[in-house]
Amino acid sequence: MKARIYPHEFFRIEFDELLREGPRQESMLSANAGEAGEIQALHAFWDKRVLPLILTDDQVFAAAKVFVETWSTNCFDEYEMVGSACLEAQSKLHTLQEEVIETIAQASLRGWLKRGFHPESVDLKKASDFYTGLALRRINSPSFQTHARGLFEQAKKVERQRIGLIMKLVPELYAQVLPHVLIVVRRALESQQRLPLGANVPVDLSDDLSWWESRASAEPGLDLFVNRLRDTYKVMRNAWDHPNQWEWCPKRNTVRLREGVRKLWIEIGSDRLHRLYRRLDMFADLGIRGILSAYCERTHDPSTLGLVEASSETFPDSAARRTAVVRPYPLH
């Protein structure tokens, strides 16, 4: 029998469940090493430095209330639109990686790999790179040649699609998601550091990055987020300012974007861009679920069951949905 829980417990389960994402990403790719530790630090920042103030500080709660009442529904709508695309892209990539590993293993058994290209030591920058390790002239099997060439073309297609998806998500994170989540973080920092209170309006990252940098050093977890934000800021801003004005360079595995109004370009490794995006998105995701949990706990409003229903529609396979039934708070 499933446990019966209240809305704040539902969102708390969702908040804590995100800790599993770090080990999962590390198990998929060696380049993701360190992701689990970063997610733990981001989780601890929200858990220790922000969420308690939603429960005890009226000004921080007011910021959380603005977030929940004016933007949380839009947040779920956006996640629902991009979530299926992300899952599909990741599933395609995982299947592709398994096929590449199997193909390399078969080629190794038949002596069709170039000297120095061993299955045990291969850590490809991108899946399509496997083709450069094949000794094509030694392959005397037409069917294997056809398979390898087809897999190579499929890998290039999946890689292009993956880059295209991330270049759609990056500007949305920059202009839509983070500015709203950071309303609550800014109010919490202002309360803790006894700074003048600003308005409960979305944060303009293009104007306020220096403000965040000046406050981050004293806040473990927040400093990680701000460092990633600084590393990715120009990419996100330019992707927002110049939509579709970017190009992928497969040979270097990089993305080039327009910089400013002049014909200048900035370049970033595509894998690095994916990792930076994932960690910034994780900060926002932790914030969304954490804010909702603390807001529900403080208000005990029966109508917050609607937030649970919206979340469940967006994340139908969530841990809380699988393990519990959510009941509304009793009427006051």
What residue ranges do the domains of the chain occupy? 10-86+162-323
- pLDDT tens-digit series, residues 23-59: 887 887 677 788 899 899 999 999 999 999 999 999 9
Cα separation of 77 and 310, whole Å?
9
Residue 226 has pLDDT above 60, yes or no: yes
The dihedral formed by the CA atoms of 9, 77, 59 and 12, expressed in degrees to the nearest 10 = 20
Query: Which has more pLDDT, 138 or 228?
Result: 138
Residue 6 · residue 293 · CB < 8 Å? no
- pLDDT tens-digit series, residues 100-134: 989 999 999 999 999 877 665 555 678 888 998 99
Cα separation of 46 and 49, whole Å?
6
Q: 181: buried, middle or exposed (CB in 10 Å: 19+, 13-18, 0-12)?
A: buried
Q: What is the DSSP letter of 300?
A: -
Q: How confident is the model at residue 167 (pLDDT cuts 50, 70, 90)?
A: confident
Cα separation of 99 and 109, whole Å?
16
pLDDT value for 266: 81
Cα separation of 56 and 41, whole Å?
23
